[in-house]
Chains A and B, each alone.
Chain A
Amino acid sequence: MTIRRLSAFLDALAAGRRPRPFQADPEDVEMISVAIALRAARPGDAMPDETFVAELHQQLAETLSPSEQTNIRPLKMHRGRAALVAVAAGLALVGGTFAVTETSDKPTVQQSATAVPQGQTLRTATFQSATGQVAGQIVLYHGHPSWVFMNVDLPHSNGTVKCELHLANGEVVAAGTVQLHDGSGVFSQSIHMDAGEARGATLYDSSGAVVASAIFI
Protein backbone atom coordinates (compact mmCIF):
# COMPACT_ATOMS: atom_id res chain seq x y z
CA MET A 1 0.00 0.00 0.00
CA THR A 2 1.42 3.33 -1.02
CA ILE A 3 -1.58 5.54 -0.21
CA ARG A 4 0.04 7.03 2.89
CA ARG A 5 3.29 7.72 1.06
CA LEU A 6 1.40 9.07 -1.92
CA SER A 7 -0.56 11.33 0.41
CA ALA A 8 2.65 12.58 2.04
CA PHE A 9 4.15 13.19 -1.40
CA LEU A 10 1.12 15.23 -2.45
CA ASP A 11 1.12 17.18 0.83
CA ALA A 12 4.75 18.15 0.27
CA LEU A 13 4.04 19.11 -3.32
CA ALA A 14 1.07 21.27 -2.34
CA ALA A 15 3.15 22.99 0.34
CA GLY A 16 6.08 23.57 -2.01
CA ARG A 17 8.40 21.28 -0.07
CA ARG A 18 10.69 18.60 -1.48
CA PRO A 19 8.65 15.35 -1.50
CA ARG A 20 10.11 12.17 -0.02
CA PRO A 21 10.89 9.27 -2.37
CA PHE A 22 8.86 6.09 -2.46
CA GLN A 23 8.22 3.23 -4.86
CA ALA A 24 5.23 4.47 -6.85
CA ASP A 25 2.83 2.27 -8.78
CA PRO A 26 1.51 3.36 -12.20
CA GLU A 27 -1.65 4.91 -10.77
CA ASP A 28 0.40 6.93 -8.26
CA VAL A 29 2.56 8.16 -11.12
CA GLU A 30 -0.44 9.38 -13.10
CA MET A 31 -1.86 11.26 -10.13
CA ILE A 32 1.47 12.80 -9.21
CA SER A 33 1.92 13.91 -12.80
CA VAL A 34 -1.38 15.80 -12.60
CA ALA A 35 -0.50 17.32 -9.24
CA ILE A 36 2.82 18.55 -10.65
CA ALA A 37 1.09 20.03 -13.69
CA LEU A 38 -1.28 21.94 -11.41
CA ARG A 39 1.43 23.01 -8.98
CA ALA A 40 3.59 24.26 -11.85
CA ALA A 41 0.71 26.46 -13.00
CA ARG A 42 0.62 28.35 -9.70
CA PRO A 43 1.45 32.00 -10.47
CA GLY A 44 4.73 33.38 -9.21
CA ASP A 45 6.60 30.17 -8.41
CA ALA A 46 8.12 29.31 -11.75
CA MET A 47 10.91 31.90 -11.67
CA PRO A 48 14.25 31.00 -10.09
CA ASP A 49 15.33 32.65 -6.88
CA GLU A 50 18.00 35.28 -7.47
CA THR A 51 20.10 33.92 -4.64
CA PHE A 52 20.07 30.46 -6.20
CA VAL A 53 21.16 31.85 -9.58
CA ALA A 54 23.99 33.83 -7.98
CA GLU A 55 25.20 30.97 -5.78
CA LEU A 56 25.19 28.44 -8.61
CA HIS A 57 27.14 30.90 -10.74
CA GLN A 58 29.68 31.23 -7.95
CA GLN A 59 30.01 27.46 -7.55
CA LEU A 60 30.45 26.95 -11.29
CA ALA A 61 33.07 29.70 -11.42
CA GLU A 62 35.06 27.87 -8.75
CA THR A 63 34.80 24.59 -10.67
CA LEU A 64 35.52 25.82 -14.18
CA SER A 65 39.05 27.10 -14.41
CA PRO A 66 39.89 29.53 -17.22
CA SER A 67 41.72 26.85 -19.20
CA GLU A 68 38.64 24.66 -19.20
CA GLN A 69 36.46 27.42 -20.53
CA THR A 70 38.00 27.45 -23.97
CA ASN A 71 39.33 23.94 -24.47
CA ILE A 72 37.59 20.75 -25.39
CA ARG A 73 37.68 18.51 -22.37
CA PRO A 74 37.38 14.84 -23.21
CA LEU A 75 34.84 12.85 -21.29
CA LYS A 76 36.27 10.50 -18.70
CA MET A 77 34.74 7.16 -18.00
CA HIS A 78 35.44 7.19 -14.30
CA ARG A 79 33.19 10.16 -13.79
CA GLY A 80 30.37 7.72 -13.37
CA ARG A 81 26.88 9.00 -13.83
CA ALA A 82 28.07 12.37 -15.10
CA ALA A 83 29.94 10.64 -17.91
CA LEU A 84 26.89 8.70 -18.98
CA VAL A 85 24.86 11.88 -19.03
CA ALA A 86 27.47 13.59 -21.14
CA VAL A 87 27.73 10.65 -23.54
CA ALA A 88 23.98 10.61 -24.03
CA ALA A 89 23.99 14.36 -24.55
CA GLY A 90 26.84 14.08 -27.05
CA LEU A 91 24.96 11.49 -29.05
CA ALA A 92 21.89 13.65 -29.23
CA LEU A 93 23.96 16.66 -30.18
CA VAL A 94 25.42 14.75 -33.08
CA GLY A 95 21.95 13.62 -34.13
CA GLY A 96 20.60 17.12 -33.75
CA THR A 97 23.31 18.50 -35.97
CA PHE A 98 22.48 16.08 -38.72
CA ALA A 99 18.87 17.10 -38.35
CA VAL A 100 19.61 20.78 -39.01
CA THR A 101 22.16 20.16 -41.76
CA GLU A 102 20.67 19.68 -45.16
CA THR A 103 22.61 17.42 -47.47
CA SER A 104 23.51 18.77 -50.84
CA ASP A 105 25.45 17.78 -53.93
CA LYS A 106 26.79 21.32 -54.27
CA PRO A 107 30.49 21.45 -53.49
CA THR A 108 30.06 24.81 -51.77
CA VAL A 109 27.87 23.38 -49.04
CA GLN A 110 29.87 22.35 -46.00
CA GLN A 111 28.93 19.29 -44.02
CA SER A 112 29.29 19.38 -40.29
CA ALA A 113 29.83 16.56 -37.80
CA THR A 114 32.48 14.87 -39.89
CA ALA A 115 34.77 14.25 -36.94
CA VAL A 116 32.24 12.72 -34.61
CA PRO A 117 31.76 9.03 -33.84
CA GLN A 118 29.92 7.28 -36.63
CA GLY A 119 27.72 4.24 -36.99
CA GLN A 120 28.32 1.60 -34.39
CA THR A 121 31.20 3.33 -32.63
CA LEU A 122 29.10 4.24 -29.61
CA ARG A 123 26.08 2.20 -28.58
CA THR A 124 23.70 2.63 -25.69
CA ALA A 125 20.87 0.56 -24.25
CA THR A 126 18.61 0.71 -21.23
CA PHE A 127 18.35 -2.05 -18.64
CA GLN A 128 14.81 -3.06 -17.78
CA SER A 129 13.65 -5.39 -15.06
CA ALA A 130 11.12 -8.16 -15.67
CA THR A 131 8.39 -5.79 -14.45
CA GLY A 132 9.40 -3.11 -16.95
CA GLN A 133 11.15 -0.81 -14.50
CA VAL A 134 14.18 1.04 -15.84
CA ALA A 135 17.21 -0.39 -14.04
CA GLY A 136 20.07 1.56 -15.59
CA GLN A 137 21.95 2.13 -18.81
CA ILE A 138 24.89 0.58 -20.63
CA VAL A 139 27.22 2.28 -23.09
CA LEU A 140 29.67 0.46 -25.38
CA TYR A 141 32.42 2.35 -27.15
CA HIS A 142 34.40 0.75 -29.95
CA GLY A 143 37.83 2.32 -30.24
CA HIS A 144 41.36 2.00 -29.00
CA PRO A 145 40.74 0.84 -26.41
CA SER A 146 37.10 -0.15 -26.51
CA TRP A 147 35.23 0.22 -23.23
CA VAL A 148 31.99 -0.49 -21.49
CA PHE A 149 30.25 1.82 -19.05
CA MET A 150 27.11 1.05 -17.13
CA ASN A 151 25.08 2.47 -14.31
CA VAL A 152 22.68 0.25 -12.45
CA ASP A 153 19.76 1.34 -10.28
CA LEU A 154 18.03 -1.46 -8.42
CA PRO A 155 16.20 0.04 -5.44
CA HIS A 156 16.56 -1.83 -2.17
CA SER A 157 19.37 -4.02 -3.60
CA ASN A 158 22.90 -4.35 -2.33
CA GLY A 159 25.85 -6.59 -3.11
CA THR A 160 26.98 -7.19 -6.66
CA VAL A 161 25.40 -7.74 -10.04
CA LYS A 162 27.21 -9.39 -12.93
CA CYS A 163 26.78 -8.18 -16.51
CA GLU A 164 27.05 -10.42 -19.57
CA LEU A 165 26.99 -9.27 -23.18
CA HIS A 166 25.25 -11.34 -25.85
CA LEU A 167 26.95 -11.19 -29.25
CA ALA A 168 25.50 -11.63 -32.72
CA ASN A 169 27.29 -14.99 -33.15
CA GLY A 170 25.65 -16.42 -30.02
CA GLU A 171 28.66 -16.00 -27.76
CA VAL A 172 28.25 -14.63 -24.28
CA VAL A 173 30.98 -12.38 -22.88
CA ALA A 174 31.38 -11.27 -19.28
CA ALA A 175 31.41 -7.47 -19.21
CA GLY A 176 32.08 -6.97 -15.52
CA THR A 177 30.62 -6.86 -12.03
CA VAL A 178 28.91 -3.81 -10.52
CA GLN A 179 29.02 -3.18 -6.79
CA LEU A 180 25.73 -1.72 -5.58
CA HIS A 181 25.41 0.77 -2.74
CA ASP A 182 21.85 1.56 -1.69
CA GLY A 183 20.69 0.08 -4.94
CA SER A 184 22.97 2.08 -7.22
CA GLY A 185 26.30 1.39 -8.82
CA VAL A 186 28.44 2.42 -11.76
CA PHE A 187 31.11 0.47 -13.59
CA SER A 188 33.50 1.00 -16.45
CA GLN A 189 36.41 -0.89 -17.93
CA SER A 190 38.16 -1.48 -21.23
CA ILE A 191 37.03 -4.51 -23.22
CA HIS A 192 38.44 -6.50 -26.12
CA MET A 193 35.57 -6.97 -28.52
CA ASP A 194 33.73 -5.30 -31.36
CA ALA A 195 30.97 -3.17 -29.83
CA GLY A 196 29.00 -3.54 -33.05
CA GLU A 197 28.63 -7.28 -32.38
CA ALA A 198 26.72 -6.81 -29.13
CA ARG A 199 23.01 -7.54 -29.34
CA GLY A 200 22.04 -7.44 -25.71
CA ALA A 201 23.17 -7.40 -22.09
CA THR A 202 21.87 -9.17 -19.00
CA LEU A 203 22.37 -8.42 -15.32
CA TYR A 204 22.47 -11.29 -12.82
CA ASP A 205 22.38 -11.06 -9.04
CA SER A 206 24.77 -13.03 -6.82
CA SER A 207 22.42 -16.05 -6.89
CA GLY A 208 22.52 -16.12 -10.69
CA ALA A 209 18.96 -14.87 -11.16
CA VAL A 210 18.31 -12.41 -13.98
CA VAL A 211 17.50 -8.96 -12.58
CA ALA A 212 17.43 -6.87 -15.77
CA SER A 213 18.24 -6.99 -19.44
CA ALA A 214 18.97 -4.55 -22.25
CA ILE A 215 18.74 -4.77 -26.02
CA PHE A 216 21.02 -2.80 -28.36
CA ILE A 217 19.05 -1.50 -31.29
Chain B
Amino acid sequence: MFPAPKPSLTRVIDPPSASGKADVTRLRVVDGDSYTDWESVYRDNVERLYRLMYARVGNRADAEDLTSEVFRTALGPLRLASSKGEARSYLLTTAQTVLASHWRRTLGAPVTTIDPELAMASLAEPSGTEELSDAPQRARKILAALPERYRRILELRFLEACSIKEAAQAMGVSVSNAKVLQHRALRMAAKAGLEVEQ
Protein backbone atom coordinates (compact mmCIF):
# COMPACT_ATOMS: atom_id res chain seq x y z
CA MET B 1 0.00 0.00 0.00
CA PHE B 2 2.85 2.35 0.80
CA PRO B 3 5.76 1.50 -1.48
CA ALA B 4 8.94 3.01 -0.17
CA PRO B 5 10.42 5.46 -2.64
CA LYS B 6 13.42 4.36 -4.65
CA PRO B 7 16.71 6.16 -4.39
CA SER B 8 16.49 9.33 -6.38
CA LEU B 9 18.86 11.44 -8.37
CA THR B 10 19.35 14.87 -6.92
CA ARG B 11 20.66 17.99 -8.53
CA VAL B 12 23.55 19.46 -6.66
CA ILE B 13 24.62 23.02 -7.25
CA ASP B 14 28.15 23.88 -6.30
CA PRO B 15 28.63 27.23 -4.56
CA PRO B 16 29.85 30.05 -6.79
CA SER B 17 33.58 29.83 -7.31
CA ALA B 18 35.96 32.62 -6.56
CA SER B 19 36.68 32.99 -10.27
CA GLY B 20 33.09 33.96 -10.86
CA LYS B 21 32.39 31.12 -13.31
CA ALA B 22 28.86 29.90 -13.75
CA ASP B 23 27.40 27.35 -11.33
CA VAL B 24 28.09 23.73 -12.14
CA THR B 25 25.17 21.34 -12.04
CA ARG B 26 25.75 17.64 -11.65
CA LEU B 27 23.73 14.61 -10.62
CA ARG B 28 24.41 12.34 -7.72
CA VAL B 29 22.59 9.41 -6.16
CA VAL B 30 21.10 10.09 -2.73
CA ASP B 31 21.76 7.18 -0.38
CA GLY B 32 22.03 4.90 -3.36
CA ASP B 33 23.23 1.90 -1.39
CA SER B 34 20.47 -0.35 -0.16
CA TYR B 35 20.12 -3.47 1.95
CA THR B 36 20.02 -6.84 0.27
CA ASP B 37 17.82 -8.67 2.78
CA TRP B 38 16.13 -8.20 6.14
CA GLU B 39 19.13 -9.71 7.91
CA SER B 40 21.42 -6.95 6.67
CA VAL B 41 18.86 -4.37 7.88
CA TYR B 42 18.81 -6.09 11.24
CA ARG B 43 22.55 -6.55 11.68
CA ASP B 44 23.34 -3.01 10.61
CA ASN B 45 20.83 -1.38 12.94
CA VAL B 46 20.05 -3.59 15.94
CA GLU B 47 22.85 -2.29 18.12
CA ARG B 48 22.17 1.34 17.29
CA LEU B 49 18.44 1.00 17.83
CA TYR B 50 18.97 -0.78 21.14
CA ARG B 51 21.26 2.00 22.36
CA LEU B 52 18.76 4.60 21.23
CA MET B 53 16.01 2.87 23.21
CA TYR B 54 18.23 2.26 26.24
CA ALA B 55 19.06 5.96 26.41
CA ARG B 56 15.33 6.68 26.57
CA VAL B 57 14.10 4.06 29.02
CA GLY B 58 17.21 3.50 31.18
CA ASN B 59 16.79 -0.23 31.70
CA ARG B 60 17.79 -3.27 29.72
CA ALA B 61 14.49 -5.18 29.87
CA ASP B 62 12.38 -2.39 28.39
CA ALA B 63 15.08 -1.47 25.85
CA GLU B 64 15.13 -5.08 24.61
CA ASP B 65 11.34 -5.29 24.39
CA LEU B 66 11.05 -2.02 22.50
CA THR B 67 13.88 -2.87 20.12
CA SER B 68 12.18 -6.18 19.38
CA GLU B 69 8.86 -4.42 18.76
CA VAL B 70 10.47 -2.00 16.32
CA PHE B 71 11.95 -4.77 14.20
CA ARG B 72 8.84 -6.96 14.34
CA THR B 73 6.71 -4.01 13.22
CA ALA B 74 9.01 -2.50 10.62
CA LEU B 75 10.69 -5.41 8.86
CA GLY B 76 7.51 -6.84 7.32
CA PRO B 77 6.36 -3.74 5.42
CA LEU B 78 9.88 -2.49 4.73
CA ARG B 79 10.72 -2.44 1.05
CA LEU B 80 14.27 -3.57 0.48
CA ALA B 81 14.65 -1.45 -2.64
CA SER B 82 14.77 1.54 -0.31
CA SER B 83 18.11 3.16 0.33
CA LYS B 84 19.81 2.62 3.66
CA GLY B 85 18.89 6.13 4.69
CA GLU B 86 15.24 5.54 3.90
CA ALA B 87 15.24 2.20 5.70
CA ARG B 88 16.76 3.84 8.78
CA SER B 89 14.26 6.68 8.58
CA TYR B 90 11.50 4.06 8.55
CA LEU B 91 13.00 2.25 11.55
CA LEU B 92 13.35 5.50 13.47
CA THR B 93 9.80 6.58 12.82
CA THR B 94 8.60 3.18 13.93
CA ALA B 95 10.79 3.52 17.03
CA GLN B 96 9.26 6.93 17.72
CA THR B 97 5.75 5.46 17.72
CA VAL B 98 6.74 2.36 19.69
CA LEU B 99 8.38 4.50 22.40
CA ALA B 100 5.38 6.83 22.59
CA SER B 101 3.07 3.83 23.08
CA HIS B 102 5.39 2.46 25.77
CA TRP B 103 5.22 5.63 27.85
CA ARG B 104 1.47 5.94 27.34
CA ARG B 105 1.05 2.43 28.74
CA THR B 106 3.66 2.78 31.49
CA LEU B 107 3.27 6.27 32.95
CA GLY B 108 0.48 7.86 30.89
CA ALA B 109 2.78 10.62 29.65
CA PRO B 110 5.69 10.97 27.20
CA VAL B 111 8.74 10.88 29.48
CA THR B 112 11.24 10.68 26.63
CA THR B 113 10.82 10.92 22.88
CA ILE B 114 12.66 10.15 19.66
CA ASP B 115 13.04 12.80 17.00
CA PRO B 116 13.74 10.77 13.82
CA GLU B 117 15.59 13.64 12.19
CA LEU B 118 17.87 14.24 15.17
CA ALA B 119 18.38 10.53 15.78
CA MET B 120 19.28 9.90 12.14
CA ALA B 121 22.86 11.05 12.66
CA SER B 122 23.51 8.58 15.46
CA LEU B 123 21.93 5.75 13.46
CA ALA B 124 24.09 6.50 10.44
CA GLU B 125 27.37 6.56 12.34
CA PRO B 126 29.51 3.47 12.83
CA SER B 127 28.43 1.33 15.77
CA GLY B 128 30.58 -0.15 18.49
CA THR B 129 31.66 2.88 20.44
CA GLU B 130 29.64 4.11 23.36
CA GLU B 131 31.04 7.60 23.00
CA LEU B 132 28.55 8.21 20.21
CA SER B 133 25.82 8.62 22.80
CA ASP B 134 25.29 12.12 24.20
CA ALA B 135 24.11 10.66 27.52
CA PRO B 136 27.43 11.17 29.41
CA GLN B 137 27.68 14.82 28.37
CA ARG B 138 24.06 15.45 29.28
CA ALA B 139 24.52 13.76 32.65
CA ARG B 140 27.64 15.81 33.36
CA LYS B 141 25.79 19.02 32.56
CA ILE B 142 22.88 18.11 34.81
CA LEU B 143 25.11 17.07 37.71
CA ALA B 144 27.31 20.13 37.36
CA ALA B 145 24.30 22.33 38.03
CA LEU B 146 23.64 20.73 41.44
CA PRO B 147 25.01 21.36 44.95
CA GLU B 148 27.52 18.76 46.18
CA ARG B 149 25.17 16.63 48.29
CA TYR B 150 22.49 16.51 45.60
CA ARG B 151 25.09 15.63 42.99
CA ARG B 152 26.53 12.89 45.21
CA ILE B 153 23.22 11.16 45.93
CA LEU B 154 22.36 11.02 42.22
CA GLU B 155 25.83 9.75 41.30
CA LEU B 156 25.58 7.00 43.91
CA ARG B 157 22.08 5.97 42.89
CA PHE B 158 22.09 6.18 39.10
CA LEU B 159 25.73 6.12 38.01
CA GLU B 160 27.07 3.72 40.64
CA ALA B 161 23.82 1.71 40.97
CA CYS B 162 23.79 1.84 44.80
CA SER B 163 20.63 0.91 46.67
CA ILE B 164 19.10 3.68 48.75
CA LYS B 165 20.53 1.96 51.85
CA GLU B 166 24.03 1.81 50.39
CA ALA B 167 23.80 5.42 49.23
CA ALA B 168 22.68 6.48 52.72
CA GLN B 169 25.63 4.68 54.29
CA ALA B 170 28.07 6.22 51.83
CA MET B 171 26.79 9.69 52.66
CA GLY B 172 26.48 9.09 56.39
CA VAL B 173 22.75 9.83 56.54
CA SER B 174 19.63 7.85 57.36
CA VAL B 175 17.73 5.98 54.66
CA SER B 176 14.78 8.35 54.92
CA ASN B 177 17.12 11.32 54.68
CA ALA B 178 18.69 9.79 51.58
CA LYS B 179 15.24 9.44 50.02
CA VAL B 180 14.47 13.08 50.69
CA LEU B 181 17.84 14.11 49.28
CA GLN B 182 17.21 12.05 46.16
CA HIS B 183 13.75 13.52 45.66
CA ARG B 184 14.96 17.10 46.05
CA ALA B 185 18.01 16.46 43.89
CA LEU B 186 15.91 15.05 41.07
CA ARG B 187 13.49 17.94 41.29
CA MET B 188 16.32 20.47 41.10
CA ALA B 189 18.03 18.47 38.37
CA ALA B 190 14.82 18.43 36.35
CA LYS B 191 14.79 22.22 36.39
CA ALA B 192 18.51 22.33 35.63
CA GLY B 193 18.02 19.84 32.80
CA LEU B 194 15.35 21.98 31.23
CA GLU B 195 17.65 25.00 31.40
CA VAL B 196 20.52 22.98 29.93
CA GLU B 197 18.38 21.98 26.97
CA GLN B 198 17.08 25.49 26.32
Chain A residues with CB under 8 Å of chain B are 3, 7, 10-19, 21-24, 26-49, 52-53, 56-57, 59-61, 63-64, 68-70, 72-75, 81-82, 84-94, 96-97, 100-102, 104, 106, 108-113, 115-117, 133-134, 153, 155, 184
Of residues A16, A35, A57, which shows the largest number of chain B Cβ atoms within 10 Å of its Cβ? A35
A37-B139, A100-B30, A117-B2 known, 7 other contacts, Cβ within 8 Å: A18-B59, A34-B190, A37-B135, A56-B67, A88-B93, A93-B89, A134-B104
A153 to B158, CA, bound (A): 31
In the complex, what residue of chain A is closest to B82 when comparing beta carbons? A93
Give me 20 A-to-B residue pairs in the complex whose CB atoms sit less than 8 angstroms apart, sorted by A's number. A7-B179, A11-B164, A14-B163, A24-B109, A39-B159, A40-B58, A41-B159, A42-B159, A46-B51, A47-B51, A48-B46, A56-B67, A59-B68, A60-B42, A64-B76, A69-B80, A85-B73, A109-B9, A111-B8, A153-B101
Residues in B neighbouring A110, C-beta threshold 8 A: 8-9
A165 to B64, CA, bound (A): 38
- B3 lies within 8 A of A21 (CB): no
Residues in A neighbouring B135, C-beta threshold 8 A: 37, 40-41, 46
A-B contact number at CB 8 A: 281
Query: In chain B, residues 23-68, which have Cβ atoms closer than 8 Å to a Cβ of chain A?
Result: 25, 27, 30-31, 37-39, 42-43, 46-47, 50-51, 54-64, 67-68
Query: In chain B, residues 135-181, which have Cβ atoms closer than 8 Å to a Cβ of chain A?
Result: 135-136, 138-140, 142-143, 154, 157-164, 179
State the 8 A-B residue pairs at the shortest beta-carbon distance, nearest first.
A41-B139, A36-B58, A30-B190, A90-B2, A112-B8, A38-B158, A39-B58, A92-B93
- A116 lies within 8 A of B3 (CB): yes
Residues in A neighbouring B182, C-beta threshold 8 A: 10
- B110 lies within 8 A of A86 (CB): no
Residues in A neighbouring B56, C-beta threshold 8 A: 36, 40
- Judged by a CB distance under 8 angstroms, whether B123 is at the interface is no
In the complex, what residue of chain B is closest to A25 when comparing beta carbons? B109
A110 to B182, CA, bound (A): 58
Report how many residues on chain B are interfacial, defined by Cβ distance under 8 Å.
Answer: 97
- A15 lies within 8 A of B46 (CB): no
- B73 lies within 8 A of A53 (CB): no
Residues in A neighbouring B63, C-beta threshold 8 A: 48
- Across the interface, A14 reaches (CB within 8 A) one of B4, B136, B158, namely B158
Residues in B neighbouring A11, C-beta threshold 8 A: 163-164
- A38 lies within 8 A of B80 (CB): no
